Structure 1
Amino acid sequence: MRFLRPCFLVAWMAIAPLLLGGCSILSEFGPVVQIHTLTAEEAIELKRSDILTRGKLSDATTQTIRVAALDAQACAKPVSANCVEALVEVKGVATDRRLAALSELWLAQAQAMKPGSEQQAAWFETIRYAYAYLFLGDHTPGERAFEDRQTQVRDWYNYAVERAATAMFEFGQQTATQLPPQPQRNIAGWELHVDMRSARLPGSTAVPAELLPASSLSFRGLRSLYRRDGFGAELVAVMPDEPLTTAATRDGRPAVKRNQQPLPWSEMPAPSMTVLLHPDGDDLDSVLQTRTVRLTVHDPYVESAIMMRGQRVPLAANFTAGYGVWLARAKFKRQSLRSLLGREGGIDRPHVYLMQPYDPNRRVIVMLHGLASSPEAWVELANEILGDELLRQHYQLWQVYYPTNMPIALNHAMIRRTLKDTLAHFDPSGQSPASSDLVLVGHSMGGVIARLMVSSTDQSLVQLARDRGRLTLKQIERIAPMLSFEPFPHVSRAIFIAAPHRGTSVAGGCLGRWMAGFIHFPVTVLEELAHTLVPNAAASSHQSLGYIPNSVDNLDENDPFLRAAAGFPISTQVRYHSIVAQANPDVALVDSDDGLVPYRSSHLPGAQSEKVIISGHSVQQNASAILEIQRILKEDMTQQKEPLNSAVR
């Protein structure tokens, strides 16, 4: 026995290394597969995080690398292309899995590169493999509709297109070959074909000053960002600045060239667009071999989807970014104050801004801001309408920007003419839906002007001009548009918001009189008015015009013009609504006000509806007011062909 024991130990020492080296069970003394419980946060991150969200390859791509027998650590280093080349050649990995992983690997390489032709080529490769996965893989996009992986690959495609398009634009600026380039050119060894047929850029030039990725923009001052998920890069084309006609400079000359009459309208100079890059090829093999790509530009207000490889694909869109960029850069606040005071740099006539390229098939909402204001007054309402898919399909927004120092009668006449000229320009025949059934939305003094636009005059203004203005019959004839008018054609609905139809005591009080004392009219306006009254008079004849009531004077509850206008009948063809602000809910409604306008002034008998909102005077920004306007607009869509209903009090 003593002899056997040493032999046993020797035998065990010889066999043990073999057993322990060849059997993991004996080495680890536990199961091969172990369980680790993830939190919900960890589980979602594991499924959805990728090279864009955390700067590391997605878990799905890492798994594909392992299945392909490649070194996961080496592949995680984007500076090397060995992993990409190896994965292209590997056999036995499902097509969808390989294409998606290659797209992310190329994206990682592109992000690690410096701007230049190599990076541009890497963007194109990212696009190639993402495009192949989405449309030429083992499954259709519809079959993968709920898959996180498809969402990831779509995001990689969209991001790569965004970076490739903006890089091409920046390169074009540096080399004086801005977009749109020649229909065909060579970039980073790829042949690029550009198709701008669906692009609609405002202004006198087809070349943007900037091309901004909407995904990189964040806005303060807007409650919501409205966009549509889909295929393509969301961009904002910032057009060259074309300033409005401004008030006279200190030397009395207009701020623009003499005899240069500017257009009374312009499209918002920061339109949104969606850009796609299509690798050439009829099947998967040809797409993976091609060095040709086609760039197409799309208007998200016109196209919500396109056909791709026989499938209807929703287009990505951003409906807030362009609007936000325009407002952030327009400097309206300072200019509107200069306009009110009649200072250099203000405006001296109305201007119509189209919030999107003109569409003959969408009805027009005309928005009129109030005293000392500008299109900024509509920032929330306009954004909500642009972001509402149903309203966006049926309406287009026009914002009237006008000098709020002018007498209401003069502003009203000029705004009428400006709208008429704008409609005539876009629809000379007047037959398109856009020229019919207009909707007017006016806040404060803009609401007073909107009411005049749907009203008919009697002889009271003519008599007032005779008695108080000491004008001759000849002179009265020359200013007839300010004194005699009928409802503006084709307006079917109006919304008056905190509008002082019967004036306010604030305008006639100490504060109002003090404020009115600072208001002056531009020399150009005075000269034009003097020339209208006395055509052959000298240029300096405006000095003999005497005192002309300004806008603050007109808002006084005792102003003769406003008292007369309050009695003008509103067209029976117009449905109208009132939104009234009540600053103190503890005060009886009939005795209340919004801090500036009393209820008895903003209330209009015969309104289709009247919504009272607890708010100050700037109620047009109130969420409840915006919801009410949206309700009215949607109701309007269903009532267009119905007869006028009885008023709802």
Structure 2
Amino acid sequence: MRRLEAGDNRSITAGFQATSCVPARVRHGVLAQWRWLGLWVFGLLLAACASAPHPGAPSAAPPDPLVEARRLWRELPHQSDAEVSARIAMHCAAYAYLALGSRHAAQRREAEAISNMCSGLLVDFLLEHEPPRWTAETLEVGEAKLAVEFRGVSSSLSGTMALIRADTVLIPPVMGTRYATPGLGIPLVAIQARCTDHPACRLFPSEGVARPVTAWVEQDGEGMPHLVMTDPTLHPDIVVNNQHAVLASDVTAPLAALYDKSRLQRLAIWNLLGGTELAVREGLYLLEDYDPNKTPIIMLHGLGRSPLIWARLTNMIFGSPELHARYQVWHVVFPTNTPVLLDRHRVQQFLDDGWRALDPSGAAPARQNMVLIGHSMGGVMSRLLASNSDEVIWNAVFDEPVTALSGTPADIAVVDSIFHFKAYPGVSRAIFLAAPHKGSPVADEFIGQLALRLVRVSAPEVDALLRVAKANRQHESLALAADYQKEGLSSISTLRPDQPVSHAAQSLMPVASVRYYTFAGSLPGARPPGDGFVPLSSAILPGATSTTIVKSGHQLYLNDQVLTKILEILRQP
């Protein structure tokens, strides 16, 4: 019913003007019997005027958002046009978002289900029809506007990025379980080339950064729909009208997406045979944004391997909310064709360089209580990173102090830094998996001798060592010189139990402030007892906080019993 405007008088019956909520005056000469009818109509009009809105008030009550969401959801199966369906799904999801604020739990559950179904249809349409690179912008969906908003995503994502539905990313068997949490929204993977504008950018994998995001639709105060995306590991829930809604998440899909793109394992094997591509990739790598308050777990791979061996353990840590909130996983890429002590020296440099980029002031809590996890040769390196060398190794190489040697200052400094070292500061725990702490007899067997002939070493530090040794023949250990002449100098040769330098390094144990844990494999019938590569007598160390022996071969990083035990260790204070 419209308001009466000045001069707007329209007669609908004799004697009445019924277009107004105010009664018209009765004309003279109207028949008496019509008066009663007029009064009755007047009463009806007065009642209608009492319920009509006053000037300036809303013309109608807003629709129930859950009712509207249901109605739009029911419309979708009857639409054949994809763009029209996407527009309906967009508004359906926006209404369902409003219904998440209901005080009734059953209605909130229904609203979440409708929101996810409608948001999923909209996201599928946009991923198919929009450009592959996404950024914050306003799109048109069936002649309706949609704002794309990135709210609280990873700081390593900036500019444009690719988006993939997380449930379409295949999880390789080596990674184990997909860790996905149900809730509000559509889990996605955001992928972007690594940044170049900050020193920490080089700590991300060259394949790029992959981060989890979760998408849902809401509307702003003006009724415009927004496709909102956030990182569910940083913001696990949202609040709608004082009601909390937990966001859906998939933390495995981003890891799997990077795993699928990586060429590291092929490069690691090629590196043993003299390939140089891995040298470009060596260094410390972060799989997520650095957190100054989370404890780093530093994972070191073994001979001819790469950080890809840690895919399952990394996935399990990410999949545990308790552990993921406490730890950040750091992988190290290093060439495994060079001697173990040189690899230890390089890993220390990688860690030092990483801390300079991440925490120049040296005050971050993350520097305390670091955890080392190493497999095979990486386990030996972990032990040496947690130990003080004192003069033990130096005396196995030279019979004179470093100050008495001949050579260039640069070469002598390199040799000194390799053979003299302190336990890496901040390390409080070390976990050794199938580590040949006392060497491996395989290095002396046929396969080891074949490897000695095939493995090629190319490193400036080795060249410096050879120059210093040549200039100080009279002070060089005769046993070491003879061993080098016969066996050469490589990662394989330094795994031999009787190699002079390695034999000396076997006596170095983690400092008292470092708790260490040993894991070993034992195969039935193996002689000597062990995993076929590393004997039990070499993998087990005295003084360990715990020792775990499992029925397994050398690849303990794939053994679920071992990995479960590692998670138990990580949960400890």
Range into which the TM-score falls when normalised by the shorter chain: 0.7 to 0.9
2:302: which partner in 1? 370
Query: Is the aligned partner of 1:171 residue 2:130?
Result: yes
User: Does the C-alpha gap of structure 1 residues 123 and 403 become closer, same or farther in structure 2, counting only changes over 3 Å?
Assistant: farther
Query: Is the aligned partner of 1:472 residue 2:425?
Result: no
2:150: which partner in 1? 196
> Across the two proteins, how many residue pairs are aligned to each other?
487
Q: Is the 8 Å Cα contact of residues 69 and 92 (structure 2) preserved in structure 1?
A: no
Q: Which of 153, 163, 166 matches 1:211?
A: 163
SS in 2 for 1:347: helix
Once the two structures are TM-superposed, the CA of residue 118 in structure 1 deviates from its matched residue by: 4.1
Q: 1:85-234 maps to which residues of 2 (within 5 A)?
A: 95=64, 98-108=67-77, 112-114=80-82, 118=84, 120-135=86-101, 139-140=102-103, 142-144=105-107, 149-150=110-111, 152-160=113-121, 162-163=123-124, 166-167=127-128, 171-173=130-132, 178-182=133-137, 188-200=142-154, 202=156, 206-208=159-161, 210-221=162-173, 222-234=175-187
Identical pairs, percent: 27
Deviation per residue, 1:375-424 (Å, 9 max, x gap)? 22112111111111111111111111211112211111111111111122
Aligned equivalents of 1:129, 1:97: Cα separation in 2: 7
* One-letter identity of the residue aligned with 2:406: T
Once the two structures are TM-superposed, the CA of residue 441 in structure 1 deviates from its matched residue by: 0.6
Aligned equivalents of 1:270, 1:134: Cα separation in 2: 30
Bigger shift: residues 343-352 or 489-498 = 343-352
Q: 1:481-520 maps to which residues of 2 (within 5 A)?
A: 481-520=417-456
TM-score (norm 2): 0.77
SS in 1 for 2:513: coil
Once the two structures are TM-superposed, the CA of residue 579 in structure 1 deviates from its matched residue by: 1.0
Following TM superposition, the consecutive aligned residue runs of length 4 or more in structure 1 with deviations greater than 6 angstroms are: 467-471, 531-535
Q: Which of 554, 573, 576 matches 2:494?
A: 554
Q: Is the 8 Å Cα contact of residues 388 and 422 (structure 2) preserved in structure 1?
A: yes
Query: Is the aligned partner of 1:632 residue 2:569?
Result: yes
Q: Which of 182, 185, 188 matches 1:235?
A: 188
User: Does the C-alpha gap of structure 1 residues 161 and 446 become closer, same or farther in structure 2, counting only changes over 3 Å?
Assistant: farther
Q: Is the 8 Å Cα contact of residues 232 and 316 (structure 1) preserved in structure 2?
A: yes
1:594: which partner in 2? 531
User: Does the C-alpha gap of structure 1 residues 462 and 622 become closer, same or farther in structure 2, counting only changes over 3 Å?
Assistant: same
* One-letter identity of the residue aligned with 1:200: S
Deviation per residue, 1:539-565 (Å, 9 max, x gap)? xxxxxx999611111111122222111
SS in 2 for 1:406: coil
Q: Which of 345, 351, 363 matches 1:431?
A: 363
Aligned equivalents of 1:158, 1:557: Cα separation in 2: 62
* One-letter identity of the residue aligned with 2:346: M
Q: Is the 8 Å Cα contact of residues 479 and 533 (structure 1) preserved in structure 2?
A: no
Q: Is the 8 Å Cα contact of residues 402 and 411 (structure 1) preserved in structure 2?
A: yes
Q: Which of 498, 518, 543 matches 1:606?
A: 543
Q: Is the radius of gyration larger for structure 1 or structure 2?
A: 2
Aligned equivalents of 1:280, 1:151: Cα separation in 2: 18
Aligned equivalents of 1:397, 1:384: Cα separation in 2: 11
Q: Which of 313, 332, 335 matches 1:403?
A: 335
Once the two structures are TM-superposed, the CA of residue 463 in structure 1 deviates from its matched residue by: 3.0
Once the two structures are TM-superposed, the CA of residue 351 in structure 1 deviates from its matched residue by: 2.0
User: Does the C-alpha gap of structure 1 residues 461 and 321 become closer, same or farther in structure 2, counting only changes over 3 Å?
Assistant: same
Q: Is the 8 Å Cα contact of residues 219 and 226 (structure 2) preserved in structure 1?
A: yes
Aligned equivalents of 1:531, 1:118: Cα separation in 2: 70
* One-letter identity of the residue aligned with 1:274: T
Q: 1:270-419 maps to which residues of 2 (within 5 A)?
A: 270-281=210-221, 290=223, 292-347=224-279, 350-419=282-351
Q: Is the 8 Å Cα contact of residues 124 and 164 (structure 1) preserved in structure 2?
A: no
Q: Is the 8 Å Cα contact of residues 99 and 107 (structure 2) preserved in structure 1?
A: no
Aligned equivalents of 2:142, 2:538: Cα separation in 1: 67
2:39: which partner in 1? none
TM-score (norm 1): 0.69
Once the two structures are TM-superposed, the CA of residue 574 in structure 1 deviates from its matched residue by: 0.7
User: Does the C-alpha gap of structure 1 residues 300 and 613 become closer, same or farther in structure 2, counting only changes over 3 Å?
Assistant: same
User: Does the C-alpha gap of structure 1 residues 577 and 362 become closer, same or farther in structure 2, counting only changes over 3 Å?
Assistant: same
Q: Is the 8 Å Cα contact of residues 578 and 611 (structure 1) preserved in structure 2?
A: yes
Aligned equivalents of 1:440, 1:310: Cα separation in 2: 43
Once the two structures are TM-superposed, the CA of residue 122 in structure 1 deviates from its matched residue by: 3.4
Give ranges in structure 2 of 5+ residues lacking alignment.
1-59, 469-483
SS in 2 for 1:336: helix
* One-letter identity of the residue aligned with 1:237: A
Once the two structures are TM-superposed, the CA of residue 451 in structure 1 deviates from its matched residue by: 0.5
Q: Is the 8 Å Cα contact of residues 496 and 579 (structure 1) preserved in structure 2?
A: yes
Aligned equivalents of 2:144, 2:540: Cα separation in 1: 66
